[in-house]
Amino acid sequence: MFKANPDYLKLRGSYLFSTVANKQKAFQAANPDKKIIRLSIGDVTQPLAPVIIDALHKAVDEMAVAETFHGYAPDLGYEFLRKAAAENDYRARGCDIADDEIFISDGAKGDCGNIQEIFAKDCKVAVCDPVYPVYVDTNVMAGRTGVFDEASETWSDVIYMPCTAENNFMPEIPAETPDIIYLCFPNNPTGGVITKDALQGWVDYANKVGAVIIYDAAYEAYISEDNIPHSIYECEGARTCAIEIHSFSKNAGFTGVRLGYTVIPKDLKCGDVQLHSLWARRHGTKYNGAPYIIQKAGEAVYSAEGKKQLAEQVAYYMKNAAYISNGLKEAGYEVYGGVNAPYIWLKTPDNMTSWEFFDKLLEQANVVGTPGSGFGPSGEHYFRLTAFGSYENTVEAIDRIKKM
Amino acid sequence: MFKANPDYLKLRGSYLFSTVANKQKAFQAANPDKKIIRLSIGDVTQPLAPVIIDALHKAVDEMAVAETFHGYAPDLGYEFLRKAAAENDYRARGCDIADDEIFISDGAKGDCGNIQEIFAKDCKVAVCDPVYPVYVDTNVMAGRTGVFDEASETWSDVIYMPCTAENNFMPEIPAETPDIIYLCFPNNPTGGVITKDALQGWVDYANKVGAVIIYDAAYEAYISEDNIPHSIYECEGARTCAIEIHSFSKNAGFTGVRLGYTVIPKDLKCGDVQLHSLWARRHGTKYNGAPYIIQKAGEAVYSAEGKKQLAEQVAYYMKNAAYISNGLKEAGYEVYGGVNAPYIWLKTPDNMTSWEFFDKLLEQANVVGTPGSGFGPSGEHYFRLTAFGSYENTVEAIDRIKKM
């Protein structure tokens, strides 16, 4: 008799977003005349930029003619996109990354989830707390996290690195030595950023103890300040200890288009084994390449016109972020993030729990946000708002909150 | 110090297709004037049908406007596509499959590779021999296959079911009881098909011993004869023992477009655990939905005009298959497949090895095929040709072989 994967059965239910949705639905049903505004979503709302639309149409036309039809893509991505990414995202910033160290995929979420597969099961994982749930859940599914403790809401074999206002949302080197360290900057959910010096400290530490840093750079396009690194490869020595995951979802609005990439330098080795070759083998065996038309859209992201149009899109969302951040500060809230990041992380007033504040915001302002406790125990007493709505809705939501 | 996944390190190099490519390259370099024709490729060559191109353009236009822009897709697929697939591929054939038992993905290869994850590590896997390498390799990577024996070219913990001319390329119930049985009909690489009665025998067996059949139906669109099932759910009792994987690559030419789906009936359970819920959780955690524009292209496959245009495309390739099959028979070869399937599987003449015949074909006819031994030990002394080339090239290649 076949058996189900017992590690899958350890997974916690995904109560966070379903509870958010259910509460919103119940409130709307009881108050049909109220206009609810969602500042909870991580999804973008602005349409694709004209340069992207144009590239998609052109690529679709190519698929209509035998001479320019494209069948199976190269497993690791088309050269034109690997080159554009390596050139623009790395070499233009002085980072030594070769075209063939770029692995094109259908998005950062899949890469974030699948990357743990190339490591041994007994590797010890360290995560920030609060954290993007995918890092932890995929390690649970791989049997790497031990036993869940209901009281502390933590897994016995995971190293948690609390990120709260007390440490300016910066993880500290943990007491126990990890093998795999997940870092995400600019951070989801806190909106925190790391300086180049601080990130260099992590790179030095990882090289010293033989750990790998999985660096999620999904929000790097939102960085506007100097001395905030766009890539971990800006740090010396990162080629021997870091994997970087890149998304097109938030810099180019590709949440529904699906494109991303992962960088694995060939210098990153376990003994003689290059992680680069293991990931290549995973791509070759379990993946069949991102669609040609989508990769052409990705190429357009790096064109001169693409950069211009997408900078405007990022600016649109960051105007929202500024309105949220300033508005909440004026209203007396303790507010973090919202600069160099599309997330605003606020301390709940009067020591309310995250869920108490959720209810209050929904009932009194008809605004939906995300309770910080949903991202991990250290997210309790915090609350996340996002800048991805329309400007009009964002303004209205914040003005309502100010009047609460 | 981090460690690499030791199971990944057990993987055999993918010598087959690289050796094929290297031999072709060396021959071309030595004979620059010869026109090599590849009948080795599993990739399609005909452009996308007009109805698909039209659907893609329309969907791209929707992405250009905020009101019709689509961000993150539902993890499991858009309702419009799940419904179209369930209705057309199943309910129209009398198979009891609900819309929400369809999981949309970016292609059958990924699903074939990832599906083993929802099973326990100690489940015993049975495969046909020869076989599509992804079934075995992904189980190697999961640590499920034991030790490789160089002499027999088999893994110690895998149950092999030989499929040769002696048993008409039909696997027989194995002596040892498996937990997971991979079946693919119409078959890659042999082009063999299974009757409904024979498949019913497998369903009855799986239900009796508590095994799950993973049924790869990637080539069902090529079936033209009666009593050859298009889906395993045409068999009674399949809802409690079978998962089916469906591709859009060969019926609609989507090899470079990327779309597929997997069916898991809710009745398929291990104790109280529905495999349906485990796969849903995998999608939710490690996947972010197929692109909206691609799913709209998938919807067009099921339109009246789409069905008509794609039937013509399938007919085009099957005309190639018939030409290959008839031509080789005329030339005295022992030929299998090529009816209800786009693959032609031939016995090498004079008991040549697969690679000896490869060399002969390349040198004397300048035609590239795939050695059967690359698909498993029982593929030795066989050779695969595919119908996915252009008609003109196919005719020229076969005429050359006939003159050999």
Find the CB nearest B212 among A2, A47, A284.
Answer: A2
What pLDDT, on the 0 to 100 scale, is given for residue B13? Answer: 74
The verdict on B228 and B322 lying in the same domain is: no
Is any Cβ of chain A less than 8 angstroms from the Cβ of B226?
no
Whether residue B1 lies inside any domain: the answer is no
SS3 A387: coil
- To test the contact with chain B by mutation, choose from A7, A8, A14 the residue with the greatest count of B C-beta atoms within 10 A, namely A8
Neighbours of A75 (CB within 10 A): 18
Q: CB of A178 within 8 A of CB of A212?
A: no
The partner residue sitting opposite B278, judged by closest CB among A4, A107, A210, is: A4
Closest among A42, A20, A18, A39 to A385, alpha carbons compared: A39
pTM above 0.95, yes or no: yes
Helical pair A304-330 and A391-403, crossing angle rounded to 10 deg = 10
In chain B, residues 36-95 whose CB comes closer than 8 Å to chain A: 43-48, 50, 53, 56-57, 60-61, 63-66, 69-73
Instruction: Check whether B307 has a pLDDT greater than 80.
Output: yes
Contacting residues of B for A342, CB less than 8 Å apart: none
Which 361-390 residues of chain A touch chain B by CB within 8 A?
Answer: 390
Pairing of strands B125-129, B180-184: parallel
Residue to mutate among A48, A285, A287, A393, with most B CBs inside 10 A, is A285
pLDDT over 70 (residue A304): yes
Minimal Cβ distance to A210: which of B1, B72, B120: B1
pLDDT over threshold 80, residue B127: yes
List pLDDT tens digits, range B375-400. Answer: 999 999 999 999 999 999 999 999 99
Structural domain boundaries, residue A82: 53-303
Taking the CA of residue B213 and the nearest CA in chain A, the distance in Å comes to 10
pLDDT at B12: 84
Type and span of the H or E element at B396: helix B391-402
User: Of A303, A323, A356, which residue constitutes the final position of a domain?
Assistant: A303
**Residue B14 and residue B138 share a domain:** no
A16 and A147 belong to one structural domain: no
Residues A5-34, mean pLDDT to the nearest whole number: 90
| Number of C-beta neighbours around residue B304 at 10 A | 8
The band of A17, judged by pLDDT with boundaries at 50, 70 and 90, is: confident
pLDDT at B204: 98
Question: Do B112 and B156 reside in the same domain of the chain?
Answer: yes
What value does the mean pLDDT of chain B take?
97
CATH of residue B263: 3.40.640.10
Is the ipTM beyond the 0.95 threshold? Answer: yes
Please, are residues B320 and B357 in contact by the beta-carbon 8 Å criterion? no
Flag whether A2 is in a domain.
no
Domain-located, residue B235: yes
Q: Say what the pLDDT of residue B21 is.
A: 87
Interchain CB contact of B122 with A (< 8 Å): yes
pLDDT in tens, B98-112: 999 999 999 999 999
Which DSSP letter does residue B254 get?
G
pLDDT tens-digit map of A32-48? 999 999 999 789 999 99
> How distant is the Cα of A45 from the closest Cα of chain B, in angstroms?
7
Does some domain include residue B164? yes
CB contact under 8 A, B258 and A288: yes
Which of B64, B117, B257 shows the shortest C-beta gap to A53? B64
Confidence of residue B67 (pLDDT cuts 50, 70, 90): very high
Sign of CA dihedral A84, A90, A91, A92: positive
Residue window 7-26, chain A: list those with CB within 8 Å of chain B: 8-9, 11, 14
Mean pLDDT to the nearest integer, A208-222: 98
State whether B41 and B91 are in the same domain: no
Instruction: Please check whether residues B311 and B190 belong to one and the same domain.
Output: no
Residue B181 CB neighbours (<10 A): 27
User: Distance from A7 to chain B by nearest Cα, in Å?
Assistant: 8
The arithmetic mean of pLDDT across residues B13-38, rounded, is 90
Bigger pLDDT: B13 vs A390: A390
Rounded to whole angstroms, how far apart are CA atoms A128 and A232?
17
**Could you give the CA distance from residue B402 to residue B12 in angstroms, rounded to a whole number?**
36
* CATH number of the domain to which B24 belongs: 3.90.1150.10
Q: What's the distance, CA B384 to chain centroid?
A: 14
Examine the fold and report which residue of B251, B274, B303 is the final residue of a domain before the chain moves on. Answer: B303
Flag whether A3 is in a domain: no
Distances (CA, A) of B310 to B45, B46, B166, B404: 14, 11, 35, 35
- Is B237 in the A-facing interface, judged by CB distances under 8 Å? no
The SS3 of residue A168 is coil
Percent of chain B with pLDDT over 90: 96
For B10, the closest chain A residue by CA position comes to: A278
Residue A172 phi/psi, 5-degree rounding, is -105, 155
My answer on whether A58 and A155 are in the same domain is: yes
How much is the average pLDDT of A275-283?
Answer: 96
Residues of A with CB below 8 A from B290's CB? 258
> Is the CB of A352 inside 8 Å of chain B's CB atoms?
no
Residue range B358-378, pLDDT digits in tens: 999 999 999 999 999 999 999
Based on the fold, state whether residues B314 and B286 are members of the same structural domain: no
SS3 A242: strand
Sequence-distant (6+) residues with CB within 8 A of B197 are B227
Cα separation, B39 vs A28, in Å, equals 61
> In the prediction, which pLDDT does A181 show?
98
Beta strands in B154-228 (DSSP E): 154-155, 158-162, 180-184, 212-216
Residue B260's beta-bridge partner residues? B105, B247
Q: CA of A334, closest CA in chain B: separation in Å?
A: 31
Q: Which of B69, B138, B210 lies nearest to residue A285, judging by beta carbons?
A: B138
- CB contacts, 8 Å: B292 with chain A: 256-257
Taking contacts as CB-CB distances below 8 angstroms, the residues of chain B near A43 are 71-72
- Asked, for residue A145, whether it belongs to a domain, the answer is yes
Q: Which of A254, A274, A303 corresponds to the end of one domain?
A: A303
| Contact status of B213 with chain A (Cβ, < 8 Å) | no
Looking at the domain assignment, is residue A1 inside a domain?
no
On chain A, the residues whose CB falls within 8 A of the CB of B212 are 2
- Tell me the nearest-neighbour CA distance from A290 into chain B, angstroms: 7
**Which chain A residues contact residue B123 at CB under 8 A?**
2-3
pLDDT of residue B145: 98
Q: What is the arithmetic mean of pLDDT over A222-248?
A: 97
* Model pLDDT, residue A12: 84
Contact (CB<8Å) B61/A53: yes
> Does residue A352 sit in the same domain as residue A222?
no
Collapsed DSSP state (helix, strand, coil) of residue A199: helix
Residues A360 and A337 grouped into a single domain: yes
CA distance B55 to chain A (A): 10
Residue B255 lies in a domain: yes
Q: Tell me the average pLDDT of chain A.
A: 97
B115 touches chain A (CB under 8 A): no
pLDDT reading at B15 higher than 70: no
CA distance to partner chain B, nearest, from residue A52 (Å): 9
In this structure, the answer to whether residues A248 and A172 fall within a common structural domain is yes
d(CA B383, CA A43): 50
Q: How confident is the model at residue A288 (pLDDT cuts 50, 70, 90)?
A: very high
Please give the tally of structural domains in chain B: 2
How does residue A15 score in pLDDT terms, banded at 50, 70 and 90? low
User: In this predicted model, what pLDDT tens digit does every residue of A132-181 receive, in sequence order?
Assistant: 999 999 999 999 999 999 999 999 999 999 999 999 999 999 999 999 99
Distance CA A62, CA B56 (A): 12
User: Do the strands B37-38 and B154-155 form a parallel or antiparallel pair, or are they unpaired?
Assistant: unpaired
**Whether residues A111 and A252 fall in one domain:** yes
